[in-house]
Structures are given as C-alpha cells and as structure tokens.
C-alpha cells in the first residue's frame, strides 16, 4: 500500500461522510493546542496538525486505505499561527468530509495557512501580547499576584474563544461552499493547485532566510558575495536550495531524511568555512570581513 | 542543596519547556513562569518582580516563522536561581541569565533541526493509517524537549556560575557548530517545500511557482509591505485561481464534455 | 460701513464660491479674485499686490481627489478686507487671513459631506427620467455654496477682527467636530465605491477587485511610482481585460454558440 | 419602474440612435464646466457629470424607460480631472448611442476616469497652473493689470481648447471602435467589467485616506495602532469601510443615505474618542500621543 | 619620432580597438594592453606598472547595455605615451590621460550612433540571402573602429600635449555636439525595439506590451530589485505565457479543430 | 522576394533539417567572439549575432528563400551578455533546425537574451572581472609579467569554456523540448510571442535612459520637467520615443535609416536647446539650472 498512498489523487471511497458533530469539532479544537508539539524545521507543525485533526479523519475515512491517504497528505509541510489554526482545520475537515480531491485539499490548506501565519503574528505576537504584558507587568513588579493571573487569563482566554469560534465558523463555511465546487471538481482542483503553488513560491521568499557572509578577497575592496547574488535576484540561495531539495527528492529519489542529512552537512561544513551568515567564528579563516 | 526544590524546579521546567510551543503558550512566559518558580524556590515575591521585569524586557520577542528568540524558559529559570539562591539583585540576575537564554536558543534550534528526523516515523505511521504512531511522535517530541530542559534546569541550579563561565567559553571556541546548526535549521523548511512541490507541482504549474516567487520578492522588498506579503499574495493568487477556474469551466460548459483535459499542456 | 461695497463683495464672493469648483475654476484664484475684490472695495492696486502675493503663496495648493486645501476664496476676501479696510500691510493681512482660509476649508468639507444627502434626490430624478430634477440638484448645490460664502464674506467685512478671535477659539474648543466631519467626509467616497461594486461586482469578479487592491497597494507604496498608480494600473488592467476577451472569444468561436455562459463560475 | 431601472443590464430599445451632431457635442462641452457643481463626498462629480451629458442622453434615449436606466447608471460615483472630463464624455456617449450593455458603459467610464484624474492632476494642477502663476504673478505685484488678465486668458483658454478637442476626438474614437466590439458584445462586457472592477480595487487604495491616530497605552512604549494595522496590510481601514458599506447596501438593503448617516456617526463619535487621524483635540482623552 | 614605434603602436591600437568589443574582450584591458604597448615603446616595466594601476582604477568600469564608460584603450595608449615618451610619473601620466579616455568615450558613442546606418546594408544582404554581405558589414565595422583608433593613437604619439589642450577646449566649446550625439545614441535602440514590435506585435498582444512596461517599471523602481528586473520579468512572463498556452491547448483539445482562431480578438 | 521575406510567418520548407554536427557548433562558438563586431545603437549586436550563426543557418536552410527569411529575422534588435550568447545560439539553432514558426523563434530569442544580459553583467562584469583584476594587478605593479598573463589566461579561458559548454548544452535542450511543442505549434507560437512582447515592454524600461534636464523657468521655484514627467509615469520619454519610432515605421512606412536620421536631428537639436540630460553646455541658454 505504502508507496502509492502518497501519490493518490482521489480517495477510493468518494461518498461524502456524515457531518462531524459539535463534540468532534470541540475535541479537535482542544487538540489544536498541541499543534507545535512535534515542531521541527522540516515540516514545522505537520505532525501536530495531523494529530489535531486525527479524530475527525478517523470518523470520515472508515476505510483504512483512505485514512492512510488522508494522513499522508496531512503530513505535508505545515505552518500557521497557532491561535488561528482551527480556521484551517475547519475548512480542511469540510473538504475531507466531502471527499474532495487530494490536490484540492492540499492547495486550500497551503493557501490558508500562509496568510494566516503572517496575520496572526502581526495581530497576536506583536500587538496583543505586548499590550497584555504592558498592562499587567507593573502589577507584578509591585508584588501583586493579580498581575500574572490576569496575564494568563486574558491571553489564554482570548485564544481559546478564538479557537472555538474559528473552528465552527470555518467548518460551516467550508461545508456550504463545497456543494457549488464539486460540480466542477476537476477545474476547481486545478485552480486550487494554482493558488497553492503560487503561495509555495511566495513562501520560499518569506520563509527563506539563508544568506552567505563571504567576502571575496580582492585587495582593498573585498566583494560581498551576498550583495552580488542579490543583484542576480534576491532570495537566490533559498531558491537554489529549494530547487536542490526538489531535484534530490524528485529525480534522485532521496528520502526526506537523506536530504536533511545532506543539508546538515552543508550547514556545518559551510560554517566551518564561514559560508553562512550568523554570529559565529568559522574554524577556517580564509577571508576577512571589512570593518563596517 | 535542597532536593525537593530541585525536583520541583525540574518538574515545572519540564512543563514550561513544552508549554513554550504547545499547550497554553502562555504559562511559560516569564510573567507567569517566574512566580511559579519562585514558589518552588520558596520566594514568590522575587518571582513576581523578576517575572514582571523580564516580561517587559522580552516584549515582542516571539518566535515568528519558527525563528527562535533568546529562550525565555531557560532565561527565567536561571535568573530565578541567581536571584533567589545566589542572592543577586534582580537586574544582576537577569543580566547574568542572558547567556543561558542565548544558549537555550541554540538548544531549541538544534532540537528542531534534529527532530526533523522524526518525520519519517510520522510518515510511516501515516502510510499505515496508524494514529497511535502519530500520537507517539508528538509525545516523544514533547517528552524529549521537556526532559532536556529539566536537566538543564538542574544543572543551572547546582552549578549556575560555573555553567555560565563554561557556556561563555563554548560560545567562543565552538561557535561554528552552533552557526552551522542554525544555518542547517534554517534550510530544513526547504525540504518541506520540496516535498510539497514534488506532489503539487505537475509540470504545467511551474509558471505559477515562479510567478509566486517573483511577486513575493517584489512585495517583500517594498519596505512598508514586507509584513503584508502573504495576504497580498493571497489576494493576487486568488484572482488568478478564480480566473483560471472561470475560463476552464467556460470551456467545459461550452462543449459539454470534451476529448482533451486541462493538464495536456507542456 | 458702506452698503454698496458689502453688496458688491457678497455678489462676487457668491460667484467665486461657485467658480472654485465649477465654471472657469480660474476666476476664483487670488490672482484674479483679489483685483476684482479690490475694485469692489475701491482699491484696485492693493488687489493686484495682494493677489499676486497670495497666488504665489498658494502655488500647488490645489484640490486633488476632492481633498480640500486651505480655502483660497475666503482667504482672499478676508485678506482684502484687512488690507483695504483695516489698513494692514499686505503681509500682515495675508497672515491674519490664514485662520479664515482654514475655516473655509472646514466649511467646504462640511458642505461636501452633507451634500452627499442630495444624491438620493438625484437618484430619484434619474429613476424617473426627469432631467429637470438633476438640474435642480446642481443649481441648489451651487446656490447653497455661493450663499454660504456670501454670508461669510459679509460677516468678515463687518466683524473681521472679532471673527478671527472667535474662529481661533472655536478651532480650539470644538475642533473634534471638525475632525469628525473631516473623517466622515473622507469616508463618504466609500459609499460611492460600494454602490458601484454592488452592481458591477458579480461574484465572479471578486478576484479582480482584490487583485486591483493588492497591485495598487504595491505600486503606490513605491515612492517614485505613487503618483503613477492609476495609469500603471490601467496598463495592467487593460492587459488582463484584453487577455480575458481573447480567451473567451476564442472559446466562443471554436464552438460556434455553446450551451453554457461565461459567468457560470463560482 | 424605479427599482428595476437600477439593475437593468440592457436598454429596452437596442437600435443605435442617430449620431450626435457637432452642436450637441459643443453644448455638452460647455455644460462640462459644471462638472463639480454638485460635488460631494459620496459620489463626487456624479450629478454634474450626468447633467453634463444629459442633452446627449435625451437625444439618444427617446424611450423614457431607457432614459431612466441611462440616467441612473450615470449617477454612479464619478471623479476625474475637470479639464479632461470631455474625453470620458465622448467615449461614453458613443457607447450610449450604440446602446452598449450597461455593464460595458459603466466599466469603460470607470476605467477612463481613474487614470485621467491622476494624469490631469499632475499635468494641470501641479505643472501648468504653477507655471502660469509664476509668469504672471510678478506683473500683478508690480501693479500691472496685465498679470491677472493674462492669467485668466491662458488658464481658461487652454482648458477650453482642450475640452472641445477631447470631446470630438474621443466621440469619434468611440464610434469607430464600437463596431468591432459589438460582434463579441458579451465577451467585451465581461472584460470591460474586469477592467472596471480592477480599477475600483485600485481606487480604494488611491482615494482611501482614512487612518487612525490611536496610541494604545502600554507603559513606556505605547503602540501606534495604525502602524500595527499597516503590518497586516496598508489601506486596511479604507478596505474595511468599503466592505462595510458594501455589506450594508448589498446584504442589509441600506439606502446610500442611510449608510452616509452611519458614516457620519462613525466619524464624529470616532473623533470624540480621538480615533481618526487629524489635527483636532478629542473630547475624551484616554491615551497620550508620545512626543515625536 | 621613431617611425617603427609609431607603426607598432598603430597596429596594436588597431587590434585593441576591435578587441574591446569583439575577439577576446580581455586583451584590450589596461592590465594586458599597457605591457604590450610598453614593449612597442621599449619600456615593458613601465607598461606593467601603468597597466596594473590603471586596471585597478577601472575596476567595474564595464560597458553595460551598450553604455560607454571612459574609453580604456585610448586612455591606456595616451597614458603610456606620456609615461614613456614624456617621462611623466605614472600617476601624472594617468591623470593627464583622463581627458583622452573621455574623448574616446565620445568617439565610440558617435561611431555606434553612426554605424546604425550600416544596418540597412545588413538587412539588404539578409533579404538577398547573401552571407558575404553580412561578413562585409562586420569586417567594415571592425576595420573602421580599428583605423579610427589607430589614427588617434598616432596623433597622441606625435602631439600628445597639444592634443590634450585642444580636447579640453573642444569639450568646452562644442560639448553640445557630443551631448546631442550621446542623446541620439541612447535613442537608437528604440528604433530596434520598434522594428521588433512592428512584426511581433499583432494587435492582440498590445496588452502584454503595456503590462510588461508597467511591471518592469514597478520592479526596477524597487531599489534592491533594480538589477534583477529582467530575470523576475522572465519568471512572470513565463507564467503568463505558459498559462495562455494551457488555456488555448485546452480549448483546442476540447473541440478537436475549431472554426475560429486565436487571434480573432480586438 | 525582398519585401515579403520580412513578413513571412513560416519557412517554405518545413521538413526538419539534419541535426547540426559538433563541428558546426564549435565553429559557431568561435564566431560568437565577434558578436559585437558591428555593434551599433540601433540593433546593437544583431549583425554580429547573425554572422555568428550563419554557418548553421546555411546548413539548415538549403532553400535560398528560407535562408533569406531566416537571415532577415535574425537581423532584429539583439543584445545579451557576450559570454552567454552561445546559450541563445544553441536554442535558436535547434528551433531553426526544426523549422519552427518565425514568431516562435523571434520570441524565444528575445525572451532569452534579456535576462541573460542582466545576469551576465552582474556575474562577469561586476564580480568576476574585478576579482581577477584584484588578484593579478599587484603582481603587475610589482613588475611581474605573470600578472597580465594570468589575467588573460583566466579571463579568456573561463569565457571560452563557458561558451563551448553553453552552446552544446542549450542546443541539446532545445532539440529535446521541440518535439512536445510542435504538436501545439500555433498555441506555442502565441504564448512565445506573449513572452517576447512582455519582455520588449520591459526592455523599454531597463534600456531606456533618455531623460530631459529642462528646468521650466518659474520665478524662484523653477520646475524640473523630468520630475513632472515622472509623476505621470517614469520612463515616459523612452516610452514615447519608442511609440514615435513604431508609428513612423508602421504607419508612415519610414525605413529604419530614416528614423535614425530623425532621432539624430532630435538629439542634436535637443542638445542645442539643452533639452536632453547630459554633461554639456547647450548653445542656446534659455533656462537656468538651480544650484543643487
Ligand atoms: O509565523 C507563523 C508561526 O510560525 C511558527 O509556527 C511559529 O514561530 C509560530 O510562533 C508562528 O506564529
Ligand atoms: O483627482 C481628480 C480630481 O478630484 C476631484 O474631483 C477634484 O479634487 C479635482 O480637482 C481633481 O482633479
Ligand atoms: O547588458 C548586456 C550587454 O550589453 C551590451 O551588449 C554590452 O554593453 C555588453 O557589454 C553587455 O554585457
């Protein structure tokens, strides 16, 4: 089974499952709190995401093969803002329930998680939390226990309300929209994929931070390699490394683990020679960084 | 050395270490964590003061897109140990704890880099339709992170000052290892992208990938728009997708059901 | 007080008030208006000097996109009254008239906000295919604006200095009313957009609306392009529209006349 | 009649009207001088625009219902540079004469007025008028009547020549193009609408100036709310208010007047609490603006 | 005056003049050219020193998009003449040669402007399927450039100092001719574009031309992207072209072979 | 023959020619060194380009008319980085060999040359050459002959390796791709043209440097004309002059030479009156440039 499960385009059983109950949704909302429990740099929140929606998936895909298919594609790279994740959950679950094409679910998931990540960071990490901290910190400093308690109640309370509300709202939203779309399922899959792929291209830019710090020795005017790369096009290294990974996986049939090892080696060997940007002293010192 | 204090400290640190990414993502903040640690060490009041002060220092220091700021959990533990056990002043304790926060940042980066390896386990569980396997992966991950931090907390408690010196030294002499791991960590996500692309990118969608890359490059290089890149991209991408949908539906409807398919392209 | 002067002043102000938006949009400029007011007040020469000086001061102060600069008409009237009647020097007269120009700006903003209400009258006339109704709306609007300014001119003539004081006071104590009206005024156009959208935006065109918003956001945030936003948007929009046209014509031509329609989309 | 007049997609009488005479066009060019006679912030120049082309519309739509339809859609939001308005007039009149689809006329009108507004402002308000002023002002200051006279003659003369020329040129242009387009009228309507809608989206950005001046109290580091909104996306408030108006009109069946009243209240109540940007002192003082 | 030296100098300058655009594009660089000239003038060592120094001065001074930097060939020749024959110090010789480098830049600009005229000859050869005609055009062009520079080299050799004075004077009194030629030279490429457009731009592709212009304007006005304009445009353009291809292939496949064609649009 | 040769859409003989031999490709790689031999501002490298690929074209088009067609369209405006030109050669030759549509070849050529020009300049002119110079110049200054020799060997060696490799690689690339494309030749031609035209639009921006330096006299505040033009849209002059040339050639049937003469006159007369930017003193001095 295993190998073709990953490439499946459709579920084998295409009859829509029974709608998920309020209780199911609530359970998954609670589980959403562990979105980042297995966070890592390859897939980020993927495993936590899958674990979060598993109860739903198990209800929907009674057939074991379909469950495998669904679990597999839900192990794709995933990253969004934790407070807003239930919005993505609801909409994906509604698609799963209707047995939409795998490509469609994939694309909708990608298209939703990206923008929500950015919005959430701006809204919560950079606005909401500092405000809560600002209000309560002085209480704590003045020795009052109310400070930390208020801090916890507000911060945790707001996110929970949000999580529950987003889950039920987006599940409903997805369920309503789906009817119209299945009539033109094939066309919808294609356009959803377009959106997804477009957003992946964007993620290479927004998530890609890899840069080099090499100064090519050149008499009195050493040349900043990153600067030169940027004149070709910015984010060239992230682009190149993504292409490398893609090529290894697609053409050379590398497993992801093997690619990870390759990158680990590239990372550390690079650091030995001071290739990658960062605040460290390379082992081998073959160029000097000009005083700023 | 007070065994009960050490155990309590290890337990709460275990929880905070997990909480900084999962669970409440609130408990671990200095504001809440420090008073709790204070309780463990028998000095709630110092906990409140250190917590409030530290929280204000860390305002805006949040993990965005998985990038790690100086680690608040280890910072808080050490600051509290210094303030309560070594009797340092609040400011001095916070100052001395910075190196630990930086070290904690490296630890998390390393863990997140290495834990990428667990994904193949999760993939296998998925392919076998085995929910328990996924649960296991998440539990193991959380346990590992918690345990590691608990150990570090104990070390900090027992040998805080020496540890500080050692860390400073390590940071100087072997910084390239950390530098390498950070660099590698930053590259891991490209594996995730590549896996996604492998499946989504049928050859006829390459154009949209490139266009997405180019447009995001444009937007994110306009200073005031940098933070809005994703949402504006979603607007534009939605327009393109919708247009494509309409055109293809139109083609289909005009002909009934045709002979060729959408993806007959290049 | 010279009744004839007052009447003349009121009449020309009435005309200038209208002219600043309709008619010639030239007559009302200080350059032309001041000499004319000078004639009314019996001192052409001062009118020329004040006019020329004021015009140079106001260069580039034009209403763009409906946003109001300090009002040149009221400014000119008051400056002339001060220069001719109160015998102030040109510079002093112009300086003292600034508060009136600002006040005039508020007046116009308020009038334009309130006059939005007249649009329902015009809509009704349109629905009844009643040209006279439209004429009426325009005439009433012009009359109102003219009359308001004429009254203000008379007030300025009779009680210029006290008025200045009063205005300064009002500006301080009740500035929030003006602030609120300005804010509301700035929002009125969104109603206009919404009406347009209600009719043009069949659900299958939402994508283009969002893309237009995003692209314009991009262009207008590149400093050197900000002023060219609309024309560059027209270029891009034209390309999209033309492409859509070609595709749909191609679909149609290939099939003769089909069964479905273009707007069967989402 | 009234209600369905506003939603009509086509004229009832689709036979092209007789071409407008030179005299008709001239009359409307003169009328174009009152484009802004009923200027207001909801529709800007709409009523003046309609009044300007009314003579033409009356000739074209002999049928009363069609005249109502035409007058109604010509009461849409309208704004362009006054000196260039006759270009829009000519082209719209040619479409009216050919009894083009309402959506087409609407879109062409929108697509023309936006760019011409920007171009006109740059060309006339910021370049031409300052030059004329620069040349003539010193004459006036030196006491010469030639100054103001020259100023008036040049400024008014140039605009009148332009208005007449643009009117006849664009009317001809429109009449020539229309033949090719009617063959594919339905497709043309759709693409014209695309352009129109695209430009409306742009206008929300370029015309939308609403911002907030709130500083969220936060100890020593108050947070600038507008700055936070901008990180989500710039022009968020104009976008949101437009959506609000749209929703009120479309879903809640508000009349425009009602929406205006709502906005007036929002504006003034907002100013009471110092919500909106602007140079005023709010009644209620609940935050402090940090010294720059 | 040493006739052999003059002849040698003329010959190598002839070659360098061609080499600065064709052949190796390396030989003509001061680094290589100066030692060779040194050999001709009997002082290799000065050639090495002048060459190395001059090369470093000119680093980054490359012709990009056909725009001409100060001309390295004429600069090198004159600097060598001054250093070897007039016995100036290296720095002084290089300093005095600058006006010649600038003059050389004008010469090249003028030649490239005028040589546009040769293109009609090449066109004719092409239309007659006459390869020899093309060869001729290239040979003539190279010969002309080489000869011109050889003559200039001789002049510099024989009358270096007077020439410098004269050039300075000309640059002042008739700079408008050079200015005009430069301006015209910069416009010549638009003729090239227009010829391309005449053929490629069937009326239904105007939209893409305008969109290309607008998008490139956007990208090139974002500072960090200016240099990447073309490659990002290629990404976006590729996406559009691919999309168009897919849509039209889809239309075709659905219908078999239709009645209408793609370019029936506007 | 001549006149319709230039407008031909297809070759008369559409049977693919025999593939070019390694020797043919090598010969053309050598010829590529004279890419800029007839450089001029109208077509830039066009003649050198054509001369470079002529041996191939002669082999491919045995029929004289086709050779004329091919040579004619290969005299179009051409400009790319000299070191990278063989990449364009290889791909164009593969298309020629398969007798692709003229519009296709044209478009592929345009689409390749533009980006390669920019990349090459960044890579070679601004990075590679300065580094080579930096390494070798001090040797020369120290009186060592090794300096210039190393400089020449590295610089020339690298470019030759590149030229040979790119030629054979891209020729293979083109030959492989072409099969898939001929099935949908008409559609491919259209999309290739889209890309080409899109890039031409971009080239007007990136290659267009014409600006004016006029300051319109205006009392104490002279107005910078270029600044005003830029507010309409940047690169307006290049756009306008391109349109002028297009109009002269297309509508007025001017020959390119005639247009060149027109531009020469415009350039010089403009310089007389100080219209064009540049470091010169106009003959007629009618405005003063304000001190910066
Ligand atoms: O950027 C979105 C998201 O990325 C990662 O998952 C973490 O850093 C989160 O804290 C953040 O919200
Ligand atoms: O911006 C176009 C246009 O907008 C409004 O109608 C007025 O402010 C005019 O003065 C201006 O020309
Ligand atoms: O910009 C590409 C290319 O343009 C012209 O052909 C010359 O200036 C070359 O030196 C340059 O590499």
Kindly tell me if the per-residue pLDDT of F13 is higher than 50.
yes
Write down the pLDDT at residue B1: 59
Interface of E with C in 64-123 (CB under 8 A): none
Write down the pLDDT at residue F2: 45
| Per-residue confidence band for E266, with pLDDT thresholds at 50, 70 and 90 | very low
| Per-residue confidence band for C256, with pLDDT thresholds at 50, 70 and 90 | low
Residues in Cβ contact with A215 at an 8 Å cutoff, skipping those fewer than 6 apart: A222, A223, A224, A225, A287, A288, A289, A290
| Per-residue confidence band for A221, with pLDDT thresholds at 50, 70 and 90 | confident
Q: Which of C206, C210, C262 sits opposite B250 (nearest CB)?
A: C262
E218 touches chain B (CB under 8 A): yes
Length of chain A: 292
Q: pLDDT of E12-64, one tens digit each?
A: 999 999 999 999 999 999 999 999 999 999 999 999 999 999 998 887 678 87
Cα gap B205→B213, rounded to integer Å = 13
Write down the pLDDT at residue F11: 94
Across residues A261-278, what is the average pLDDT?
A: 93
- Counting residues of chain F whose pLDDT is more than 90, the rounded percentage is 57
A276 DSSP β-pair partners: A212
Which residue pairs, CB below 8 angstroms and at least 24 apart, start in A54-58? A54/B131, A54/B134, A55/A24, A55/A27, A55/A28, A55/A31, A56/A20, A56/A24, A56/A25, A56/A28, A56/A89, A56/A93, A56/A96, A56/A97, A57/A96, A58/B131
Write down the pLDDT at residue E88: 83
Indicate yes or no: CB of C217 within 8 angstroms of CB of B232: yes
Q: What Rg value do the Cα atoms of chain E yield, rounded? A: 25
Write down the pLDDT at residue A89: 96
State whether the Cα torsion C40-C44-C46-C49 is positive or negative. positive
| Per-residue confidence band for C260, with pLDDT thresholds at 50, 70 and 90 | very low
Q: pLDDT of B91-145, one tens digit each?
A: 888 888 888 888 888 889 889 988 988 999 999 999 999 999 999 999 999 999 9
Kindly tell me if the per-residue pLDDT of A2 is higher than 70.
no
Write down the pLDDT at residue C1: 59
Q: How far is CA E253 from CA A189, B259, C260, E257, in A?
A: 19, 6, 18, 8
Write down the pLDDT at residue D1: 42
Cα gap C152→D74, rounded to integer Å = 34
**Which chains pack against D, by 3+ Cβ pairs within 8 A?**
A, B, C, F
- Name the residue in chain F with its Cα closest to that of A217: F131
| Per-residue confidence band for C264, with pLDDT thresholds at 50, 70 and 90 | very low
Residues in Cβ contact with E100 at an 8 Å cutoff, skipping those fewer than 6 apart: E71, E74, E75, E77, E78, E156, E163, E164, E167
Residues in Cβ contact with C12 at an 8 Å cutoff, skipping those fewer than 6 apart: C33, C36, C37, C40
Expressed in angstroms and rounded, the spacing between residue A267 Cα and the centre of ligand 1 is 23
Q: pLDDT of B191-204, one tens digit each?
A: 888 888 887 777 68
Cβ–ligand 1 contact at A121 (below 6 Å): yes
Kindly tell me if the per-residue pLDDT of D221 is higher than 80.
no
- Name the residue in chain A with its Cα closest to that of E229: A233
| Paired tokens of D164 | 């007449």
Write down the pLDDT at residue B256: 54
Best-predicted range by mean pLDDT (B247-261, C47-61, E36-50, F102-116): E36-50
Give E137→chain C minimum CA distance, Å: 40
Across residues C134-162, what is the average pLDDT?
A: 90
Identify which of A134, D169, D82, C123 has the alpha carbon closest to the alpha carbon of residue B31.
Answer: A134
Write down the pLDDT at residue E1: 59
CB A158 within 8 A of CB A73: no
The ipTM is: 0.83
Which one-letter DSSP state was computed for residue F212? B
Indicate yes or no: CB of C255 within 8 angstroms of CB of E258: yes
Expressed in angstroms and rounded, the spacing between residue A129 Cα and the centre of ligand 1 is 14
Write down the pLDDT at residue E265: 36
Q: Which of F216, F219, F228 sits opposite D138 (nearest CB)?
A: F219
Identify which of E73, E15, E93, E80 has the alpha carbon closest to the alpha carbon of residue E43.
Answer: E80
CB F48 within 8 A of CB F57: no
Write down the pLDDT at residue B43: 92
Cα gap B233→B218, rounded to integer Å = 10
For all residues of chain B together, what is the average pLDDT?
A: 86
- Counting residues of chain D whose pLDDT is more than 90, the rounded percentage is 58
Kindly tell me if the per-residue pLDDT of C163 is higher than 90.
no
A40 DSSP β-pair partners: A44
Strands A223-224 and D215-216: unpaired
Kindly tell me if the per-residue pLDDT of A124 is higher than 60.
yes
Kindly tell me if the per-residue pLDDT of F137 is higher than 80.
yes
| Per-residue confidence band for B262, with pLDDT thresholds at 50, 70 and 90 | very low
Kindly tell me if the per-residue pLDDT of E258 is higher than 70.
no
More confident residue, A129 or D273: D273
Cα gap E157→E78, rounded to integer Å = 7
End-to-end CA, chain B: 72
| Per-residue confidence band for B258, with pLDDT thresholds at 50, 70 and 90 | very low
Kindly tell me if the per-residue pLDDT of B250 is higher than 90.
no
Helix-strand-coil percent breakdown of chain B, rounded to 5?
80, 0, 20
Across residues C206-230, what is the average pLDDT?
A: 93
- Name the residue in chain D with its Cα closest to that of C134: D51
Across residues F45-63, what is the average pLDDT?
A: 96
Across residues F233-248, what is the average pLDDT?
A: 94
For all residues of chain F together, what is the average pLDDT?
A: 89
Write down the pLDDT at residue C130: 95
Expressed in angstroms and rounded, the spacing between residue D247 Cα and the centre of ligand 1 is 33
| Residue D57 CB-half CA count within 13 A | 27
| Per-residue confidence band for C259, with pLDDT thresholds at 50, 70 and 90 | very low
Cα gap C71→E221, rounded to integer Å = 36
Ligand 1: residue of A78, A117, A199 to mutate (most ligand atoms within 8 A of CB) is A117
CB C47 within 8 A of CB C37: yes
Q: What is the pTM of this model?
A: 0.83
Q: Which of C218, C239, C247 sits opposite E218 (nearest CB)?
A: C218
Write down the pLDDT at residue C262: 39
F76 touches chain C (CB under 8 A): no
**Please, what's the b/e burial string for C6-34 (b: 16 or more CB within 10 A of its CB; e: otherwise)?**
bebbbebbbbbbbbbbbbbbbbbbbbbbb
Write down the pLDDT at residue C2: 84
Atom of ligand 2 lying closest to residue D79 CA: 6
Optimal mutation site among C207, C215, C251, interface B, most CBs of chain B within 10 A = C207
Write down the pLDDT at residue C46: 93
Q: pLDDT of A182-198, one tens digit each?
A: 778 788 888 888 888 89
CB D20 within 8 A of CB D238: no
Cα gap E148→E234, rounded to integer Å = 39
Across residues F157-182, what is the average pLDDT?
A: 88
Optimal mutation site among F222, F234, F240, F243, interface C, most CBs of chain C within 10 A = F234
- Map out the domains of chain E as residue ranges: 3-200, 203-257
Give the closest ligand to the alpha carbon of residue F85: 3
Identify which of E16, B263, F97, B219 has the alpha carbon closest to the alpha carbon of residue A103.
Answer: B263
Across residues B153-165, what is the average pLDDT?
A: 80
Indicate yes or no: CB of E255 within 8 angstroms of CB of C255: yes
């Amino acid at each position: 089974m295993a190998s073709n499960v990953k490439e499946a385009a459709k579920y084998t059983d295409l009859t829509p499952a029974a709608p998920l109950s309020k209780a199911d949704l609530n359970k998954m909302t609670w589980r959403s709190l562990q979105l980042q429990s297995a966070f890592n740099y390859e897939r980020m929140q993927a495993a936590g995401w899958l674990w979060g929606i598993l109860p739903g998936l198990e209800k929907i895909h009674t057939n074991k093969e379909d469950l495998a298919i669904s679990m597999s594609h839900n192990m794709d790279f995933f990253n969004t803002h934790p407070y807003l994740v239930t919005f993505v959950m609801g909409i994906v679950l509604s698609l799963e329930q209707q047995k939409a094409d795998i490509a469609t679910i994939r694309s909708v998931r990608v298209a939703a998680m990206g923008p929500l990540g950015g919005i959430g960071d701006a809204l919560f990490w950079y606005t909401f939390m500092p405000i809560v901290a600002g209000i309560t910190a002085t209480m704590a400093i003045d020795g009052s226990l109310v400070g930390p308690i208020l801090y916890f109640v507000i911060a945790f309370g707001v996110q929970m309300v949000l999580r529950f509300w987003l889950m039920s709202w987006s599940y409903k939203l997805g369920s309503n929209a789906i009817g119209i779309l299945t009539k033109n399922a094939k066309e919808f899959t294609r356009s959803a994929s377009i959106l997804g792929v477009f957003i992946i291209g964007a993620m290479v830019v927004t998530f890609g931070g890899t840069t080099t710090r090499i100064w090519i020795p050149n008499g009195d005017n050493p040349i900043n390699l990153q600067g030169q790369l940027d004149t070709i096009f910015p984010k060239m290294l992230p682009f190149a490394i993504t292409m490398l990974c893609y090529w290894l996986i697609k053409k050379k049939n590398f497993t992801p683990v093997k690619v990870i090892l390759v990158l680990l080696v590239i990372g550390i060997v690079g650091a030995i020679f001071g290739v990658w940007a960062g605040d460290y002293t390379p082992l081998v010192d073959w160029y000097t960084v000009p005083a700023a | 050395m007070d065994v009960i204090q050490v155990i309590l400290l290890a337990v709460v640190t275990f929880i905070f270490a997990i909480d900084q990414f999962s669970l409440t993502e609130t408990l671990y903040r200095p504001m809440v964590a420090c008073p709790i640690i204070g309780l463990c060490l028998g000095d709630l009041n110092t906990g409140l003061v250190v917590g409030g002060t530290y929280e204000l220092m860390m305002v805006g220091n949040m993990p965005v897109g998985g990038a790690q700021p100086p680690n608040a959990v280890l910072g808080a533990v050490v600051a509290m140990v210094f303030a309560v056990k070594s009797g340092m002043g609040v400011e001095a304790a916070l100052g001395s704890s910075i190196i630990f926060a930086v070290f904690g940042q490296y630890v998390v980066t390393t863990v997140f880099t290495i834990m990428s390896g667990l994904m193949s386990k999760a993939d296998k569980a998925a392919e076998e339709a085995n929910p328990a396997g996924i649960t296991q992966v998440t539990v193991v991950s959380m346990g590992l992170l918690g345990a590691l931090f608990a150990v570090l907390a104990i070390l900090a408690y027992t040998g805080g000052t020496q540890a500080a010196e050692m860390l400073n030294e390590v940071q100087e002499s072997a910084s390239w290892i950390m530098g390498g791991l950070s660099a590698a960590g930053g590259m891991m996500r490209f594996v995730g992208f590549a896996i996604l692309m492998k499946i989504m990118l049928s050859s006829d969608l390459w154009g949209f990938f490139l266009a997405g890359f180019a447009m995001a490059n444009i937007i994110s290089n306009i200073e005031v728009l940098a933070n809005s890149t994703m949402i504006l991209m979603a607007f534009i991408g939605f327009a393109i997708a919708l247009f494509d949908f309409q055109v293809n539906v139109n083609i289909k409807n005009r002909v009934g059901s045709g002979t060729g398919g959408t993806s007959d392209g290049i």
